[in-house]
Amino acid sequence: MRLTFVTSNKGKLHEAKAALSPLGIDIVGSDLKPIEIQGESLEEISRAKCEVLIGRLEPPFMVDDAGLFVHALRDFPGVFSAHALKTIGVPGILKLMEGVEDRSAHFEAVVTYYDGNTTHSFLGRCGGTLTTAAASGGHGFGFDPIFVPKRGVWGVHPPESSGLREWDDQTFAQIPAEVKNHISHRGQALAWLVAHLGGR
């Protein structure tokens, strides 16, 4: 089966390949840009992005939408995360959080899959905290350098590795991709898609 993931983000494409390739699914990327809308939820936005591609792209295909929800900022940037990343970026979020004690936050992702007849949406969530400075690291993208996942948030399918202490207090940008793929918001959403497609 060949499945198109409509994204220009290589990090997202890598996560999807890691999750779906074991099922024998050939994941290919597409730079086709769906119309971006503003919505009240990631699911609404993800579904809208998917629906405008029906008739323009051969199914099956999938899209996603994700956001960082900072609790002390009333869940900002949330559904505006892509715009916030382009405008104020990581430094802007850290500036807004200067002197703020409550640094709790969570990432959410919604993957929407179109099988040629029906659209299916899958939600993933990962709680954690924000750092006070961006961490260096060769992994991750977006707001990953300032997000430390909460210990014990394993997603749908926990990693088999027992060396979990190796990444305690490390950000998504520092955690190895194979670990992040299991515990991240997108990793969880993809795991639900895998289950839908008859996988593990």
Catalogue the active-site residues: 65
CA distance 150 to 145: 15
CA distance 69 to 81: 8
Looking at residue 112, the DSSP 8-state letter turns out to be E
CA distance 171 to 176: 10
How does 154-169 read in b/e, with b if 16+ C-beta sit within 10 Å? ebbbebeeeeeeebee
Q: Beta partners for 4?
A: 28, 61
Helices 10-20 and 185-196: crossing angle in degrees, nearest 10, is: 40
**Nearest residue to 98 via CA among 146, 138, 49, 27:** 146
Please, are residues 170 and 163 in contact by the beta-carbon 8 Å criterion? no
Task: Cite the beta strand spans of the chain per DSSP E.
Answer: 2-6, 26-30, 61-70, 76-77, 104-114, 119-130, 147-149
